[in-house]
Chain A
Amino acid sequence: MTTTTSVDVPTTPETKPGRPPGRRAGVASFAALLLSPSLLILLLVIGYPIVSALRLSFIKTVDGVDPDTGLVTHSSVFSLANYIDIFRGDTAAAFRNAFWNTTTFTIVTVIIETTIGVCMALVMNKAFRGRGLVRASILVPWAIPTAMSALLWRWIFSADGVANDLLRANILWTTEGFQAWLAVVIADTWKTAPFIGLLVLAGLQIIPAEVYEAAKVDGSSAWRTFWRITLPLVKPALVVAVLFRMLDVLRMFDLPFVLIGPQKKSTQTLSLLAYNDMSNLHFGPAAAYATVLFAYVAVVAYAFVRLLGADIVGRGVGGGR
């Protein structure tokens, strides 16, 4: 969960108009002073690693082995080679495959999870006996660490596991192929649909009951009420939930790693590709993959914010228009 922690970047408080200029300057510098420790920490734990990773991605290392002693010889130069290799030769195929998996995982899981999550929220929002129990039980998958749930799903999807028993089939889920991709989608949906459900529920609960009463008086059908009232009013919460999920899936790592295995092409994501390179000591290419993934995440997030006006720092939706 590295992404969510750094979302609340403190923005400099806006100074209200109409204050005496001298005092404003004093307040601003005092505010800067108060913020400096957190800015310093952010610089240290976010700024430095990013710059370091960027620098690393431009270093091309050529390894050789000394034929007499067997010792490794390194030579490093600054170049664009790591980035060029992403689009050329064998590594290009691996990159395209990982990029495709990352993208399809993101699109498919987010669509399914949003649909199920909204349904869950609508159920949880209704007043009925045992509502508390339903809410708690829906959240259980979200509370289980991904690596654990991946292990549980690995048992379910094993050759003699529950999934095959239920389907009366003998599918080898964890082998290369579409079924491995599907297994990841199923496990991910199970785990994170409740997350969307929870955020949407919070959005549903602030919709005033009067709006629904008015709709009822006007004779609106349940379907129309959902599309015309519930969805527009819950949109701010929903958009934020979907954005978080997208950022999460784009960097998906642990689920395919544990459930299917790190070397499988069918479920290899960009994070896994970077990890594999890093564990084989190819730091330059690994950093290049990570940088590309970073750019991809940033572009998707930016486009999403521009298109749907996601309000992630809580200023109210209408503010920017």
Chain B
Amino acid sequence: MRGRRASAVSVIAGALGVVLTLGACGGGSKSGSTPAAGTFDAKGPITLATGKDTSGYLQSALDKWNSAHASEQVRLIELPESADQQRQQMIQNAQTKSDAYTILNVDVVWTAEFAANGWIEQLPADKFPLDKILKGPASTGQYFNKLYAAPYLTDGGMLYYRKDLLDAAGISSPPASWDDLAADCKKVQASNPGVGCYAGQFEKYEGLTVNFSEAVDSAGGKVVDDSGKPVVNSPEAKKGLDFLVNGFKTGVIPKDAITYKEEEGRRAFQDGKLIFHRQWPYQYKLASATDGSSKVTGKFAVAALPGLSGAGKSSLGGHNLAISKFAKNKGSALAFIQFLTSEPEEKLHLQKTSEAPVYSELYDDPELIKQFPYLPILKASVNDAVARPRVVKYGDATTAIQEDAYAALTGQKTTDDALKDMQDKLTSIIGK
């Protein structure tokens, strides 16, 4: 009998391991103390916590700063490649009030959460040339009309299209509206039956929030209004969602596209399976590759996203730089952010990594346009782009949006029900 009990006890001890990981991560949920206005005097060594530096360019920018500032060295701390894990590590750093990370490279949608929880310092707006920065990206660093993160890099959606197929079908210009897009597809598919019409990112993840918001905004609706109130249950929003839902029903959007993230869609476009593709600028270089990996090299062009009647509106992507509340040497941090987000640095960054800058002038630079022909289109896209809902509990909000948008796209809910449920959930999350 004793043996039995001992074995049962050890089984339970084994089972205890299950909760370990979860328990260990949950420690300490105290925060919300009133933040004092930051002072930016202290100088000294600092760190920059950022996602993986895949281009290798960032380190060379740091080296340039370091050689000129011997006593204010910046050290690069590379976080995992996945955005969720970056956010988690930054939050853990904040909850333990650690001074390990000085400058945080934050995704534009985290600004509200980080600022509201008092994890990042309010920045002096007069230290940054916000008037030279495109208004879309400039707004992403703000929360309650105060600057919390300096605009650094931006991203906007564009419509990639098969110029060769459109030309062959006698269509001279890219579609300006969703109806044009469907009509163009009909003409092209008449002689190319195998090719799909349109795709974006419709898998159930952050990309769906981006694409859903774009559809709503492009139809004249809004997910969240300017005062932060959810207004997604509107006739305009319904027209936007209907475009996607009917797209799947009528075959304008191929069935496979419900599993597309950025990369799946890119493969389909590069394999010549799509006429139109909503995608970020990074695809331009890869789809233009001459090593045989792309079948559409030289056959495609980009245009602004179409909308319900006339031009559509993109969702804003990108990253901003913020200063951790718990860091030391915030004076050096501010100076370094000014250096890294300065116009000459952003120009270099664009040339080396093709990541889009926030300065309006760079998009008009003929030398840069020669290297990146899509810059004028991207400028228009980013300038009119709409930030995703600026919500403190962004994680909950985006989950709710994905849940109901996906249910509508897969036919589990009607668009009316989906938008009504989404409105209810967002209202309870945002609390207004």
Residues of A within 8 A of B (CB): 2-9, 11, 45-46, 49-50, 52-54, 56, 59, 61, 63-65, 69-74, 76, 158-160, 170, 172, 174-176, 243, 247, 250-251, 261, 263-264, 271, 274-276, 278-281, 283-284, 286-287, 290-291, 293-294, 297-298, 301-302, 305-306, 309-313, 315, 319-320
Contacts and interface: CB of A to CB of B under 8 A. Distances in A.
Contact of A2 (B20, B112, B392): B20
Contacts of A297: 15, 18
Contacts of B395: 279-281
Contacts, number: 197
Contacts of B60: none
Nearest to A54: B23
A71 B143 CA distance: 10
A5 B144 contact: no
Interface stretch (B253-261, B335-343, B359-367, B371-379): B253-261
The 9 closest A-B pairs by CB, nearest first: A53-B23, A70-B144, A159-B256, A2-B17, A280-B395, A49-B23, A290-B22, A297-B15, A301-B11
A56 B23 contact: yes
B396 interface: yes
B29 A63 contact: no
A70 B205 CA distance: 27
Interface of B: 1, 3-4, 6-27, 29-32, 34-35, 84, 87-88, 91, 112, 115-118, 143-144, 203-205, 255-256, 258-259, 264, 392-393, 395-396, 399, 402-403, 406, 410, 412, 431
Contact of A315 (B3, B34, B256): B3
Nearest to B409: A175
A4 B14 contact: yes
Contacts of A9: 9-10, 13
Of listed B26, B29, B143, residue having the most chain A CB within 10 A: B26
B344 to A, nearest CB: 34
Nearest to B5: A320
A11 B10 contact: yes
Contact of B204 (A49, A261, A294): A261
Contacts of B3: 315, 319-320
Given A2-B18, A4-B17, A261-B204, 16 more contacts: A2-B20, A3-B14, A3-B15, A9-B10, A9-B13, A53-B26, A63-B392, A65-B116, A65-B392, A71-B116, A73-B32, A247-B18, A280-B396, A298-B15, A301-B8, A310-B11
Nearest to B10: A9
25 contacts: A2-B17, A6-B13, A11-B10, A46-B20, A49-B19, A50-B20, A53-B26, A64-B431, A159-B264, A170-B256, A172-B259, A174-B259, A175-B259, A247-B14, A251-B18, A278-B26, A280-B395, A280-B399, A281-B395, A287-B23, A291-B19, A294-B18, A310-B11, A319-B3, A320-B1
A78 to B, nearest CB: 13
A263 B15 contact: no
Contacts of B13: 6-7, 9, 46
A315 to B, nearest CB: 5
A170 B22 contact: no
A94 to B, nearest CB: 10
A74 B32 contact: yes
Contacts of B35: 71
A313 B4 CA distance: 10
B264 A158 contact: yes
B20 A49 contact: yes
A290 B20 CA distance: 9
Of listed B9, B14, B112, B406, residue having the most chain A CB within 10 A: B14
Contacts of A5: 17
A46 B264 contact: no
A6 B22 CA distance: 16
Contacts of B11: 7, 243, 298, 301-302, 305, 310, 312
Contacts of A251: 18
Given A76-B29, A172-B258, A11 B6 contact: yes
B10 A312 contact: yes
B14 A50 contact: no
Of listed A50, A247, A281, A305, residue having the most chain B CB within 10 A: A281
A286 B19 CA distance: 10
A3 B12 contact: no
Nearest to B87: A279
Contacts of B431: 64-65
A51 to B, nearest CB: 8
Given A52-B26, A172-B259, A287-B23, A313 B10 contact: yes
A70 B255 contact: no
A283 B26 contact: yes
B34 A71 contact: yes
Given A159-B264, A274-B22, A302 B8 contact: yes
Contact of B16 (A6, A286, A315): A6
